[in-house]
């Protein structure tokens, strides 16, 4: 695994976080009905968490001497005012993130960068927890 390949993978994760920032901010603004009371704040929190994750990934790319992308992943963000549809989209997004970070960890393990591994592992666990949270909310 060379630095270029690792940077490309990190950029993929960064693009996914940039998409998540937008998606959650959008849903926080549009969620309606009684669930708005808690879901608006929850989505805002998820947006902030994605921003923190994006910062971590960007810093890692800088450290590797790469160029961090500035465009979000182009997977469409489905507009809705239905909390159920939002939760479904959120679940898909978190599952995508968990998968990407899982793949990244395998690559980083080979590269032997312990510091990078630790920082990505923290994000990976956060994404896995989010997937479980989302599943519980949808039950």
The residues of the shown chain that bind Fe ion, judged by CB under 5 A, are: 50, 53, 97
CA distance 72 to 21: 9
Q: Which residue has the closest beta carbon to Fe ion?
A: 53
CB 101, CB 120: distance < 8 Å? yes
3-state secondary structure of 118: helix
CA 114 to chain centre: 21
Query: What's the min distance (Å) between Cβ of 121 and Fe ion?
Result: 13
Query: What's the min distance (Å) between Cβ of 67 and Fe ion?
Result: 21
Residue 7 or 50: the one with the smaller Cβ distance to Fe ion is 50
Query: What's the min distance (Å) between Cβ of 90 and Fe ion?
Result: 11
Residue 7 or 47: the one with the smaller Cβ distance to Fe ion is 47
CA distance 30 to 34: 13
Residue 7 or 94: the one with the smaller Cβ distance to Fe ion is 94
Query: What's the min distance (Å) between Cβ of 83 and Fe ion?
Result: 21
Query: What's the min distance (Å) between Cβ of 34 and Fe ion?
Result: 28
Residue 64 or 126: the one with the smaller Cβ distance to Fe ion is 126
Q: Could you tell me the CA-to-CA distances from 128 to 9, 91, 114, 123 in Å, in that order?
A: 19, 11, 21, 9
CA 56 to chain centre: 11
Residue 31 or 49: the one with the smaller Cβ distance to Fe ion is 49
Tokens 């939002």 label which residue? Answer: 86
């Amino acid at each position: 695994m060379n630095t270029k390949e690792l940077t490309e993978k990190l950029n993929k994760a960064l693009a996914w976080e940039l998409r998540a920032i937008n998606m959650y901010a959008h849903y926080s603004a549009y969620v309606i009905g009684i669930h708005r009371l808690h879901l608006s704040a929850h989505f805002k929190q998820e947006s902030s968490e994605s921003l923190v994750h994006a910062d971590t990934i960007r810093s890692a790319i800088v450290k590797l001497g790469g160029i961090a992308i500035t465009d979000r992943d182009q997977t469409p963000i489905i507009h809705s005012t239905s909390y159920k549809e939002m939760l479904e989209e959120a679940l898909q997004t978190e599952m995508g993130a968990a998968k990407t970070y899982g793949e990244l960890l395998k690559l980083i393990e080979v590269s032997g960068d312990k510091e990078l591994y630790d920082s990505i592992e923290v994000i990976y666990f956060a994404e896995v927890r989010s997937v479980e949270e989302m599943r519980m909310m949808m039950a």
